[in-house]
Amino acid sequence: MIQTILIAVLILGAYYIQRKYYQTHWNENLDVTVKFLNSEIVERQEGKLQIVVENRKKLPLSALIVRFQTDKHLTFDKNKGSDTTDQFYHKDVFQVNRGERITRTLHFVGAKRGYYLINNVDLTGYDLFMSYEMHSSFHPSECIYVLPKPFENKEFQMMLQQLNGEMLTKRNLYEDPFELRGIREYQPFDSMKSINWKATAKTGSFMVNQKNYTAPKTVRIFLNMEDPSYLKNYENMELLIRLAASLVKYLLDQGIKVSFYCNGPDVITGEPLMRSAGKGKNQQSAILRGLARVCVEKDALDFGKLFAKKIMIDNENSYTCFISATNTEAFTQTIREFAMQGGAFSWFYPNTGAFHPEKIPAPLHGSLKMIRI
């Protein structure tokens, strides 16, 4: 009897001692990291998130729960020890021995374009008897870009292939100062700078250099996200972004400089997307990341107020592409003024069945590229 009581006292004493220890030391020498292994993925592609737990204490953790909130558009696979609740909280359970390091890699699919954050992780630890739980949290500031999936359509692909030819045949091509095409007699409209004085002295008549023509050095893309309807059509707005992503990728893959402007507000800053001319993979990544952060739930900024001046005066040696499903009077008037100024452009218009050709001025019909969806 006395022996039984003594054992019970020892067990009870050990329980309270370990509980007291875990209350104050459970997360000492405990390192937990949660990080995306991809900085960016394309819409509907798979990404990876890694959780690393390292316990450098002399005592184990009978159970450690790592919990963080995810967006509903990041769809995680179901794995042993992992679970995602209806509130989109992802939970992983670990049993960590002393001196043990556990790495767990979670697979997920980026179901929708966007910019996703994990900025808070909650930890719940238990003592040896699983009778008492302790809590702490940390803020990892992890993010991932789910880039828009480029639009795939045979008709649209043919339009992209024809775009180079159109840029070459538009009437406002530019002379290349470094490539001569020949020499001809001087005409009243020629500049004195173009006179070839050696040929003039040889022939006794004014002769001028003929320069080769070159395509515009930069393509400017203006994406208009305005939706004047009472109820926003989010599917159409996502379609516009995917069209823009295709156009950006096509041009940059050919080594063409691209500048990009969009009146859709950034999900973090609320500012429009504006990217000056550049080329290469860095430019492509910057524009596509900007498109990933465009928030379609918020109203687009006024296209004319933002870009009308830039469209009119900042178009030297460039070709302009408009992407818009809006043919409001204000928007078409902006493009019409640009056309009257002699600007070279194409207007990509996705036709989802709500097209009203009578609302588009006749002078713009030749530059309108209708994409049947």
Q: Are residues 79 and 183 in the same domain?
A: no
CA 356, distance to chain mean position in Å, is 31
Question: Which is higher by pLDDT, 358 or 248?
Answer: 248
The average confidence (pLDDT) of the chain is 85
Calculate the dihedral angle through the C-alpha atoms of 246, 251, 257, 258, rounding to the nearest 10 degrees: -20
The rounded distance, in Å, linking the Cα atoms of 195 and 202 is: 13
Q: Are 301 and 288 in contact (CB under 8 A)?
A: no
* DSSP annotation string for 59-107: S-EEEEEEEEE--TTEEEPP-TTEEE-TT-EEEEEEEE-TTEEEEEEEE
Between the alpha carbon of residue 234 and those of residues 225, 239, 295, 299, 347, the distances in Å are 10, 9, 10, 11, 21
**Same structural domain for residues 185 and 167?**
no
Query: Tens of pLDDT along 128-160?
Result: 888 888 999 999 989 999 999 999 888 888 888
192 in any annotated domain: yes
Q: Establish if 3 belongs to a structural domain.
A: no
User: Above 50 in pLDDT, residue 221?
Assistant: yes
Calculated CA dihedral for residues 65, 71, 72, 73, nearest 10 degrees: -130
pLDDT at res. 216: 59
Q: What mean pLDDT comes out for the span 59-71?
A: 91
Task: Give the C-alpha separation, 185 to 181, whole Å.
Answer: 14
For residues 254 and 327, membership in a common domain is answered with yes
Residue 206 has pLDDT above 80, yes or no: no
Q: What's the confidence (pLDDT) of residue 261?
A: 98
pLDDT score of 169:
61
d(CA 347, CA 335): 9
The DSSP annotation for 337-359 comes to HHHHTT--EEEEEEESS---GGG
- Give whole-number Cα distances, 125 to 11, 59, 98, 293, in Å: 21, 12, 14, 36
229 and 239 share one domain: yes
Distance of CA 205 to the CA centre of its chain: 59
Q: Are residues 220 and 210 in the same domain?
A: no
On whether both 191 and 223 belong to a single domain, the answer is: no
**Same domain, yes or no, for 82 and 36?**
yes
Give the bridge partners for 68, in sequence order: 90, 121
CA-to-CA distance for 370 and 364, rounded, in angstroms? 12
Weakest-pLDDT range from 26-35, 104-113, 207-216, 262-271 = 207-216
Within a domain: residue 11? no
Question: Does position 48 have pLDDT exceeding 80, yes or no?
Answer: yes
Its domain, for residue 165, covers 154-171+215-372
Treating both helix axes as pointing N-terminal to C-terminal, what angle do 329-340 and 303-313 enclose, rounded to 10 degrees?
A: 10
Q: Please indicate, yes or no, if residue 125 is contained in any of the structural domains.
A: yes
Provide the whole-model pTM.
0.82
Q: How confident is the model at residue 24 (pLDDT cuts 50, 70, 90)?
A: confident
21 inside domain: no
Residue 4 falls within a domain, yes or no?
A: no
CATH of the domain at 365: 3.40.50.410
- Distance CA(135)–CA(128), nearest Å, equals 15
- For the segment 242-258, the average pLDDT, to the nearest whole number, is 94
Same domain? 158 vs 99:
no
The answer to whether residue 130 is domain-embedded is yes
Q: Which of 212-216, 235-239, 318-322 has the lowest mean pLDDT?
A: 212-216
Domain check: are 188 and 239 in the same one?
no
Q: Is residue 2 part of a domain?
A: no
Across residues 172-186, what is the average pLDDT? 57
Query: Structural domain tally of the chain?
Result: 3
Do 87 and 163 share a structural domain? no
What pLDDT band is residue 13 in, cutting at 50, 70 and 90? confident
- Record the tokens describing residue 195, joined without a space: 């006179």
- Residues 167 and 287 grouped into a single domain: yes
Average pLDDT over residues 74-83: 74
Same domain? 229 vs 332: yes
- Predicted confidence at residue 208, as pLDDT, reads 73
**pLDDT tens-digit readout, 307-359:** 999 998 877 778 999 999 888 888 888 988 888 888 889 999 987 665 566 66
Q: Is the pLDDT of residue 172 over 50?
A: no
| 121: enclosing H helix or E strand | strand 121-126
Q: Please give the Cα distance from 190 to 210 (Å, whole number).
A: 10
Tell which wins on pLDDT, 277 or 372.
Answer: 277
